[in-house]
Amino acid sequence: MDSVFIIINIIVFLVVIGLLYTMQKKHVSFAKRVFTAMGIGIVLGAILQAVYGVGSDILTGTLDWYSIVGSGYVRLLMLIVVPLVMVSIIRAIINLEKTKELGKMAGWVIGILIGTTMIAAVVGIGSALLFDLSADQIEAGQAENERAASIEERYASIEDQTTPQRILEFIPNNIFLDMTGERPTSVISVVIFSLIAGVAVLGVRRKQPEQAELFVKGVNAIYAVVMRIVTLILRLTPYGVLALMINMVANTNYAGVLELGKFVLASYAALITMFIIHLLLVGGFGLNPVTYVKKAFPALAFAFTSRSSAGTIPINIQAQKNGLGVDDGTANISASFGATMGQNGCAGIYPVMLAVMIAPTVGINPLALDFLIPLILITAISSFGVAGVGGGATFAAIIVLSSMGLPVGLAGLLISVEALIDMGRTALNVNGSMVAGTLTSKILGGHDADKFNDKNSVADQATV
């Protein structure tokens, strides 16, 4: 009997996919289709949970089938990340007139990412204090205790690793290993290799122009093919968002959300505040924040539903280049760097909120400057090398809490609302990288204001 209900649920899902496909055929904008997919996903996910209940065989079986579309789409995006980043950065560098432009570009991107992370830390501290958060207010059950044990075990594996050693992990020693995404810092390692390769081509061009030209032709040919693959994959975005949103809503522990409602509100208050600060920065550079949001929405929507900064890289790059008017090199560097460093949500807001919550349990005054100032600085430093996939926020929390002498196991207290909060954190991470790319492009004179302001120049028309 269960199989009958599962089949019915699959048919309903296929009908919704058919609706989204019809919208595509009628040339409904990409952003509207993504927004529609999110809305339907929320409603359908809530209905499935209400009808079958969390953990039921029917719901589990249904979501298992739905994940073919949702998780399958994320896997396809992860598949294209390395070739896209590698070829795009090499191509961007060989089109630079001077290598010093590369240093300025990377310097501004990193500076904005880390600077906004420090601001995010201040916002997180303020929210935690405003809502009077304390770890004492949370009752630890079996799930929380198991999560605490898991975090402490993970901490034991990195306890002896210093900050310089973690930064050293960025430098690749086996590019083929990093192309598999085996390490948390693989994306940054691929970026570094691509930067070196691009600079090498500039050197070859001066001494052996014929060989350099041959290489450039090959890179341009590969780039054309990679971008076509990206186009094909991004066409699936509304369907992937639909499936991911259904899965998230259907599996949400609403009892846990109600119990920890204050912590969820405090988290989203901080996330929204930081998002507004991003928009103020955009406006401060003479760009319309409303236009920015419209152009950035598809990437933010996917980041919200997928909870993967790394998986959002292809959409992030396309949104910056085709919608926000960011030049090719800056878009690729900001999207790649933003997936593993300076993440405003996971590495900025989240760790400091935990630290402020936990501090009173060990007799530390969370209002003391000798606690707050080191906390902000440590948060900024530890934001290097945070993995852009699930678990990155936990890693950042472990580093910050351990550096501040706080018990890392208490980070497991929010496990019941972790997924819900992580959606907002990831969207803020991606927005931070897009802001870094937009502002850097504006500062260095590579920004295309006409494309940014052109209502017809949006990511979806270039990708679907």
Alpha carbon distance, N-terminus to C-terminus of the chain: 40
Question: What pLDDT is stored for residue 461 in this prediction?
Answer: 42
Which two structure tokens, joined as six digits, stand for 44? Answer: 């359908």
Q: Which CATH class is domain 2-463?
A: mainly alpha
46-62 burial: b if 16+ Cβ within 10 Å, else e: eebbeebeeeeebbebb
Largest CA distance in the chain: 73
Per the CB < 8 A criterion, the answer to whether 212 and 204 are in contact is yes
Name the residue with higher pLDDT: 55 or 139: 55
User: Can you list the alpha helix ranges (DSSP code H) found in 404-458?
Assistant: 418-443, 449-453
Per the CB < 8 A criterion, the answer to whether 340 and 185 are in contact is yes
pLDDT tens by residue, 412-461? 666 667 778 888 999 999 999 999 999 999 999 889 998 998 876 664 44
pLDDT tens by residue, 376-412? 998 888 777 665 555 567 777 777 887 788 877 666 6
Which two structure tokens, joined as six digits, stand for 160? Answer: 């002896």
Question: What pLDDT is stored for residue 148 in this prediction?
Answer: 55
Per the CB < 8 A criterion, the answer to whether 45 and 246 are in contact is yes
- Among the residue ranges 157-171, 204-218, 314-328, 357-371, the one predicted with the least confidence is 157-171
Neighbours of 35 (CB within 10 A): 16
161-184 burial: b if 16+ Cβ within 10 Å, else e: eeeeebeebbebeebeebbebebb
Distances in Å between the alpha carbon of 419 and those of 115, 145, 172, 194, 350?
26, 17, 31, 33, 13
Q: Is 96 left (phi over 0), alpha (psi -120 to 50) or beta?
A: beta
Q: Where are the domains of the chain?
A: 2-463
How far apart (Å, rounded) are the C-alpha atoms in residues 173 and 176? 9
CA dihedral 72, 74, 76, 80 (to 10 degrees): -170
Residue 175: pLDDT over 60: yes
Name the residue with higher pLDDT: 397 or 243: 243
DSSP bridge pairs for 384: 341
398-407 burial: b if 16+ Cβ within 10 Å, else e: bbbbbbbebb
Residue 312: pLDDT over 50: yes
CA angle 303, 306, 309 (to 5 degrees): 50
Find all residues with CB under 8 Å of 228, minimum gap 6, and list them: none
pTM of the model: 0.80
Reference 191, options 331, 306, 324, 74; nearest CA is 331
Token look-up 């599962």 returns 6
How far apart (Å, rounded) are the C-alpha atoms in residues 279 and 282? 5
Mean pLDDT of all residues belonging to the chain:
83
How far apart (Å, rounded) are the C-alpha atoms in residues 170 and 182? 13
